[in-house]
């Protein structure tokens, strides 16, 4: 990794599709920050977005196209990349939400923080950033 890096949770992918702020943060920092997510986070976003979009009265196809476009900026990591960290990740997160182990595993594999709105990651022994504070990490000399 030549740049600063951060792992995105699926809820951040969904926020990037639904709103402007998160998408702008990603796009504005893409030249200096490497954005990663496990492949399952994109799968989760694709699975949950249609119901969210329908509930909000947002056209599905354009919104899902935004998600696919984000795939040009956000690196989707295959399970083979992070699976060696599954046991350690489950030990850290299983009490809160074992389904989140791939996010923790990517963070451990890349030795970088997680951007999330999910409090299940707090106390898992990895740095976490929420949207209201992540710009400091993305912009500053924070590692």
Tokens 């022994």 belong to residue: 125
Q: Name the CA radius of gyration of the chain, rounded.
A: 15
Residue 50's nearest CA partner among 28, 80, 17, 77 is 17
Residue 85's nearest CA partner among 113, 109, 115 is 109
Residue 96 is predicted with a pLDDT of 85
pTM for this model (two decimals)? 0.92
Number of structural domains (the chain) is 1
Q: pLDDT tens for residues 4-47?
A: 999 999 999 999 999 999 999 999 999 999 999 999 999 999 99
Q: What is the mean pLDDT of the chain?
A: 92
What residues have CB less than 8 Å from 100, skipping those under 6 apart?
9, 93, 118, 120, 121
CATH number at residue 16: 3.40.50.1010
Task: Find out whether 73 and 27 touch, Cβ atoms under 8 Å.
Answer: yes
Domain ranges, residue 75? 4-139
Q: How far apart are CA 106 and CA 121, in angstroms?
A: 13
């Amino acid at each position: 990794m030549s740049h600063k890096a951060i792992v995105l949770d699926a809820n951040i992918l969904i926020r990037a599709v639904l709103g402007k702020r998160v998408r702008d943060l990603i796009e504005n920092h893409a030249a200096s920050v490497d954005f990663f997510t496990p492949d399952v986070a994109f799968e989760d976003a694709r699975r949950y977005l249609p119901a969210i979009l329908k509930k909000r009265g947002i056209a599905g196809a354009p919104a899902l196209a935004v998600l696919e476009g984000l795939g040009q900026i956000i690196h989707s990591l295959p399970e083979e990349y992070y699976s060696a960290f599954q046991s350690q990740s489950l030990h850290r997160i299983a009490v809160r939400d074992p389904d989140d182990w791939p996010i923790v595993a990517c963070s451990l594999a890349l030795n970088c923080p997680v951007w999330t709105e999910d409090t299940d990651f707090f106390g898992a022994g990895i740095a976490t950033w929420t949207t209201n504070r992540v710009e400091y990490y993305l912009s500053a000399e924070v590692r």
